[in-house]
Amino acid sequence: MTEAADKTLDLIKTKYPEIEWLFDYSYDMLSVECPTAHIAELLEFLRDDPEAGFTFLTDLCGIHIPGHVNKELGVIYHLHNMQRNERLRVKTFFSIAHPRVHTMTHLWPAANWMERETYDFFGVEFVGHPDLRRILNVDDMDYFPLRKQYPLEDGTRTDKEDEFFGR
């Protein structure tokens, strides 16, 4: 772990000592897992605090991990501090039964479409989003296609069973 990543982690830990932080440093990036209730607060702090200075939202996307009980769905934020050239990944996971997370559109207007995309593919409801509609798929689609229960190919076919190769 680099010195800068250490500092960022310390900053987060001192700001929110009551939360038990799960973190990981791999492939040149620190990633921190944050409880869903605190995500808006944390990202606002990271953006506005002069020492943190993660003012640029690089990316926002969803993920579905069926094996994570009660934490099946997640939203992943990639932040960038351009002055120090430091990147940070913040993750938050929640149950697929109540996929609700606070919006980031009040912090970054760029989050608008990225959240709509995440809603479109994973069905994550962003609380407070000004215009939460589907964006890439058709409006009357009734499922969220990037969730893992929807296989890419027709599930009723038996001639292409992958017994030996692949999952």
Partner 1 sequence: MSVDKWQNFSPDPTEEFDSIQGTLATLNLGPTHPATHGIFQNVLKMDGEKIYHSEQTIGYIHRAFEKLAERRPFNQITPITDRMNYCSAPINNIGWVLAVEKLAGIKTTKRIDYMRVIIMELARISDHLICNSIIGADTGALTGFTYIFQMRELIYELYEEVCGSRLTTNISRIGGFERDFTPEFHRKLKIWIDKFPTWHSELAILLERNRIFMDRTMYVGAITGPRALAYGFTGPNLRAAGVDYDVRVFSPYSSYEDFDFSIPVGQNGDTYDRFMVRQEEMLQSFQIIKQAYANLPEGSHHVDVPGYYLPEKEEVYRSMEALIWHFKIVMGETPIPKGEVYSAVEGGNGELGFYLVSDGGRTPYRLHFRRPCFIFYQAFPEMIKGGMLSDAILTMSSMNVIAGELDA
Closer residue to partner 1, CB minimum distance, 18 or 139: 139
Compare residues 10 and 24 and give the one whose CB is closer to partner 1: 24
Q: Who contacts 67 (Cβ-Cβ below 8 Å, separation ≥6)?
A: none
Assess 163 for contact with partner 1 (CB under 8 A): no
Distances in Å between the alpha carbon of 141 and those of 19, 31, 55, 72, 99?
38, 33, 35, 22, 18
Give the single-character DSSP code of 64: E
**Which string of b and e fits 113-135 if b means at least 16 CB within 10 Å?**
ebbbbbbbbbbbebeebeebeeb
- When asked if residue 153 is in the footprint of partner 1 (CB under 8 A), the reply is yes
Q: For partner 1, give the closer residue by CB, 6 or 48.
A: 48
152 binds partner 1 (CB under 8 A): yes
The footprint of partner 1 on residues 18-77 (CB under 8 A) is 26-27, 29, 31, 47-48, 55-59, 61, 63-64, 76
Burial class (CB in 10 A: 0-12, 13-18, 19+), 15: middle
Report which residue type is found at 153. Answer: E
Shorter beta-carbon distance to partner 1: residue 37 or 106: 106
Site residues for partner 1 per CB under 8 A: 26-27, 29, 31, 47-48, 55-59, 61, 63-64, 76, 78, 82-83, 85, 87, 89, 106-110, 112-114, 117, 121, 135-138, 145-146, 152-153, 165-167
